[in-house]
Structure 1
Amino acid sequence: MTDDPSRRTIIKSGGVLAGAALLTGLPGGPAAQAAVPRAGGSSPVVDLPAGRLRGGVDGGLAVFKGVPYAAPPVGALRWRPAQPHPGWQGTRDATAFGPSAPQPYREGGDPVLGNHGAPPFDEDCLTLNVWTPAADGAKRPVMVWIHGGGFISGSGSLPNYSGETFARNGDLVVVTVNYRLGPLGYLYFGEDGAGGNFWLTDQLAALRWVRDNIAAFGGDPDQITLAGQSGGALSVAALAGARPAGRPLFKRAILQSPPLGLQIPTRAEALQRSATFLGILGVGNVAEARAVPWPQLIAATFEMFQRTGRWGYWSTPFLPVLDEATLERSPADLLLSGPGAAIDVLIGWTREEANFAFALNPTYTASTKEQVLARVRETFGGRAAEAYTAYEEARPGARPVDVLMDLIGDDLFRMPAIALAERRAARGRPVWAYQFDLPTPAHNGRLGAAHCLELPFAFDNFDKWTQAPFLAGLAPLVRDGLASTMHASWISFIRTGDPNPGPMPNWPRYERNSRTTMRLDSVTSAVDDLAGYWRRLHHSTGSR
């Protein structure tokens, strides 16, 4: 690739203020900061239909934490759709985050991400958090962030997902959401013909809360961008199919590494998976399971991994369900017709998605060619040998595990994302695509540009990721330059529905005649049909 100075990533001189300086041409730049509450001033207060909230001031922003958006899903409401919150009397304190959804937790975390959730955990977890420059009538664009975590981990209160940078640098209102995870959110029992996907009913309740209340926080309910990564990005696609009364729930969507290649279970398959879990618990039915303390449910998750895992596939012990009540079709299809067709979409993936889960796993690093060929055959059938050779030649010095990881990344993330972009482009629907290419030197470079690596770049908040081992060794100038560029483009998309203008080179829409994909690296460039060879290889075999 030619190193054209005019297409270089802008290098940030350091800190959040320099990031903000890039955005002075956007509405709500420095001139808008006069409306921001100042530290030491009076605490911000908003009046909502549910009651009065008193927030705090953090970094010059008004912040409201631990705001309930649905009734606590406990007791008889465990494994029931989210219900309206009854409200409260007087003024509710909103200066502390609510508990995160129950999830597995290990002190010290893992060698890639560290921890993706931290105590306290509690089943009463349906809260959200709001960052705003001011709780006024400014009608700012809104970003709602849905965290990922393999459907079993994460929290809207993680420092990683703080709304501070987006709110300040983009003059946006930012909302992060807690929702039910793991067995509490993803089991399916089909009781009395009822649906499942309790996690999805939570997120729908949160979006309706945003639509109905965000104006009190200085936000515009007609300018909502729903954004998420991994499982959160799959959620964004699933929510595109909502058919609400009144105004749509969101206008734009950012899907970072959506695992659209997942095979979503049918009702029968989901019932069988839930029966497996009840067997691990040692209970006979859902009524008995409602009496089991939630820590026992989380403890049973580890055995669920063993029972549901398959060699050569990303482990997902809990999955959504095509219950025909809350989710009728695959999430990707919901962005092609119905209310989802009109949504502006920005979608992308990282170059080595699967290295996140497999590169440091000794079981997989010891893989033989025969083992990997057997897995390749499940995607490519009779052309497995040809596909194996293609993947092997694409990465100099590739080991069998490298072929396996690239195949898994394509099956689960890249090829389905490209297929969605192709189908939207064929219908004339707006879509922008990116591939995040910057590798991390952590763990001797074995992770490459792994799953989740783009997150601190999009948020431009590396100071919030100090406990994440996979960021070690990144060169500060390159790191901060790419972060400023991505962050500004994300803000532009949230504000206008277009990632241009900004410090990035011109980013055309993904069209069928060009298939332009933005390559995000130390030098950022727009590349036509970036994954063309692999798209044709997968398409020619009819692989998913």
Structure 2
Amino acid sequence: MKKIMPVHCQFFVILMLVSCLPAHAQNSGAIVQIDSGVLQGVVEDGIETYRGIPYARPPVGSLRWRPPQPVEPWTDKRDSLNFGHACPQRRGLYPEWVDAHLDEVGDDEDCLTLNIWTPVERGDHALPVMFYIHGGNFQYGAGSIPVYDGRYLASQGVVLVTINYRIGYLGRFAHPALSRVQSSEPLANYGIFDQIAALEWVQRNIGAFGGDAGNVTIFGHSSGGVAVNVLMTTPQSKGLFHQAIAQGSGILLDVTQHAFEQGPPGAAEKSRENMGVEFVEHFKIEADTDEELIDALRAMSWESMVEYQTKKQVPFNPVVDERVVADHVARVFERGAQHDVPYIGGANSWEWNQIDGIPLIGKWFLGGEFIAGLTDEDLAPFDDQWTRIGLSQRWFAEGLFLTSTRYLGKQMANVRSPAWLYHVTYVQTNLRGEVPGAGHGIEVPFIFGHVGEHPQWQRPEQMVGKAVTAEDLAWGQSVQSYWLNFAKTGDPNGPGLPDWPRYEPATDLVMEFGVNFRPREGLYKDTLDYLEERALIRRQIFLR
């Protein structure tokens, strides 16, 4: 019988062969052994890059709407030269260059992959790890979108990881039949379960890429920032990361949608199970048993789900599932039960630019959704100057983003680890006078370091076709330096940067990222105090 060489021996032989090659040939690729097999990456400009690494089994067929399962090991060397598929989603919500990338990688349910950038020259010490969670309203996006390319951050002495996770109905779904049949396992928040599985993968494998599993910073923007705040509260993620940055994270302080129970009037009124029942009714799925219904749901094409999702436009934020997302994020922070790790949180001065492009009639109905269930007393400060549309914009920006950011920062006083809060007011040089403030996520392309090379990646959309200036680049360099310092040391401060004081409720100092970087005391204090008070009153009324 022919004997097969064990995988670890194969890997040893490969390493011996590579070591005998001339230097320029070694730079044509990179090889690592991880727990599921051998990976072949590529070296580009001094950075080893590994794309499309599976961190969980494809969640298809019987694994749709199941927690992520371990990867099946492979025996041959696996190429990791190309990105994996994006998780299924619609087009037309991002700039053309993003849609072009999504078309290039394609959509598929087989999408649970991650990407790694690490410097070739790593020295003797393991490097800090930065783990990025993309945004997109939990309905769009991918870790492979070009603006998240990790080469520049890796060149600054970190290992950068980006991930895909299930989104839309595939990432957030519940139905009474699933709850009965799969009662022994976590339900509904499948995208969050994916993120935890990816963090577990990092703990097992990042050392092979030169990363320090004991120094992992999670950071994310928009829904990625929401995910960061959720991961701060999930018991299963404890010990998987050591610093956290929530950028542009909008959470409700009064109530969070529940997987199984109805909530108060407004965005959280229907449970996720209620929405699952509506989903089944829409597609006219009939079955005699729970098992038959689940089989029929799993036999549906993901294309039909994305089409339905596009028409329905329902929220996909994580829901309380009582096992992983065990409670409302704000209440976990209030109890001091969040993970005790250094924390940065922040939002921008023009967060409502996210809904600025919605047609007028859409804003009218969206406004009604945002302010549903709010009393005249809730809305009193805005009645003299704001229409229903204006109300929705201000409630969206100041209530959902600014108020919740400050509130979670205040609750970090309940643990030992420090917190820092920021507020972006910077408007790019060639956009000043055209927009009312810093749009949602303008800092993201600057943090990843590609704005100078790719100015078309800037935000907001009004920057398309406008040149980036030296002042813009210097501003972005400062923000990036704060992030890198935080990942390396747990403190954003460092040489050459204005001092960023820790956030303390008593001093209420928030770092303004404007034309100048400066701490501001009591920023928007009266408005945020009022909105916080009204949210907590609503919670007291509806959750008692």
Contact 2:333 2:411 in 1 (8 A): no
Residue 482 of structure 2 aligns with which residue? 489
Could you tell me how far 1:523 is from its partner in structure 2? 1.8
Q: Specify whether residues 527 and 52 from structure 1 end up closer, same or farther in structure 2 by C-alpha distance, changes over 3 A only.
A: same
TM-score w.r.t. the length of structure 1 is 0.82
Matching residue's letter, 2:406: I
Contact 2:234 2:325 in 1 (8 A): no
Q: Is residue 418 from structure 1 mapped to residue 409 from structure 2 by the alignment?
A: no
Residue 163 of structure 1 aligns with which residue? 150
Match of 1:256 among 237, 241, 247: 247
Q: Is residue 226 from structure 1 mapped to residue 234 from structure 2 by the alignment?
A: no
Contact 1:200 1:235 in 2 (8 A): yes
Cα distance in 1 between the residues matched to 2:304 and 2:436:
34
Residue 356 of structure 1 aligns with which residue? 354
Residue 134 of structure 1 aligns with which residue? 120
Secondary structure of the 1:509 match is: coil
Aligned length: 484
Could you tell me how far 1:341 is from its partner in structure 2? 3.4
Cα distance in 1 between the residues matched to 2:360 and 2:535:
32
Secondary structure of the 2:43 match is: strand
Q: Specify whether residues 379 and 182 from structure 1 end up closer, same or farther in structure 2 by C-alpha distance, changes over 3 A only.
A: same
Secondary structure of the 1:84 match is: coil
Match of 1:296 among 298, 304, 318: 304
Contact 1:237 1:334 in 2 (8 A): no
Residue 433 of structure 1 aligns with which residue? 421
Could you tell me how far 1:210 is from its partner in structure 2? 0.2
Q: Specify whether residues 522 and 114 from structure 1 end up closer, same or farther in structure 2 by C-alpha distance, changes over 3 A only.
A: farther
Residue 344 of structure 1 aligns with which residue? 342
Contact 1:134 1:217 in 2 (8 A): no
Secondary structure of the 2:479 match is: helix
Matching residue's letter, 2:120: A
Contact 1:116 1:153 in 2 (8 A): no
Contact 1:141 1:173 in 2 (8 A): yes
Cα distance in 2 between the residues matched to 1:135 and 1:80:
40
Cα distance in 2 between the residues matched to 1:111 and 1:65:
23
Secondary structure of the 1:55 match is: strand
Residue 452 of structure 1 aligns with which residue? 441
Residue 150 of structure 1 aligns with which residue? 137
Q: Specify whether residues 340 and 401 from structure 1 end up closer, same or farther in structure 2 by C-alpha distance, changes over 3 A only.
A: same
Q: Is residue 89 from structure 1 mapped to residue 97 from structure 2 by the alignment?
A: no
Cα distance in 2 between the residues matched to 1:94 and 1:464:
25
Q: Specify whether residues 518 and 443 from structure 1 end up closer, same or farther in structure 2 by C-alpha distance, changes over 3 A only.
A: closer
Could you tell me how far 1:74 is from its partner in structure 2? 0.7
Cα distance in 1 between the residues matched to 2:378 and 2:307:
42
Contact 1:135 1:216 in 2 (8 A): no
Cα distance in 2 between the residues matched to 1:96 and 1:125:
13
Select between 172-181 and 320-329 the one with higher mean Cα deviation.
320-329
Q: Specify whether residues 491 and 271 from structure 1 end up closer, same or farther in structure 2 by C-alpha distance, changes over 3 A only.
A: same
Cα distance in 2 between the residues matched to 1:42 and 1:185:
37
Match of 1:73 among 52, 59, 74: 59
Could you tell me how far 1:332 is from its partner in structure 2? 4.0
Residue 272 of structure 1 aligns with which residue? 274
Matching residue's letter, 2:90: P
Q: Specify whether residues 360 and 481 from structure 1 end up closer, same or farther in structure 2 by C-alpha distance, changes over 3 A only.
A: farther
Cα distance in 2 between the residues matched to 1:155 and 1:60:
25
Could you tell me how far 1:79 is from its partner in structure 2? 0.8
Secondary structure of the 2:456 match is: coil
- Residues 287-342 of structure 1, C-alpha deviations (whole Å, 9 max, x = no match): 2111112112211112222xx4xxxxxxx2x3322111221112344456677331
Contact 2:222 2:247 in 1 (8 A): yes
Cα distance in 2 between the residues matched to 1:325 and 1:173:
31
Could you tell me how far 1:264 is from its partner in structure 2? 2.6
Residue 476 of structure 1 aligns with which residue? 469
Could you tell me how far 1:116 is from its partner in structure 2? 9.6
Q: Specify whether residues 374 and 56 from structure 1 end up closer, same or farther in structure 2 by C-alpha distance, changes over 3 A only.
A: closer
Residue 240 of structure 1 aligns with which residue? 232
- Residues 13-72 of structure 1, C-alpha deviations (whole Å, 9 max, x = no match): xxxxxxxxxxxxxxxxxxxxxxxx979724111111210011001222000111011011
Contact 2:189 2:318 in 1 (8 A): yes
Q: Specify whether residues 531 and 375 from structure 1 end up closer, same or farther in structure 2 by C-alpha distance, changes over 3 A only.
A: same
Contact 1:135 1:217 in 2 (8 A): no
Secondary structure of the 2:350 match is: coil
Q: Specify whether residues 203 and 117 from structure 1 end up closer, same or farther in structure 2 by C-alpha distance, changes over 3 A only.
A: farther
Could you tell me how far 1:388 is from its partner in structure 2? 3.5
Q: Specify whether residues 419 and 292 from structure 1 end up closer, same or farther in structure 2 by C-alpha distance, changes over 3 A only.
A: same
Cα distance in 2 between the residues matched to 1:228 and 1:165:
17
Unaligned runs of 5+ in 2: 1-22, 262-270, 287-292, 539-544
Select between 143-152 and 329-338 the one with higher mean Cα deviation.
329-338
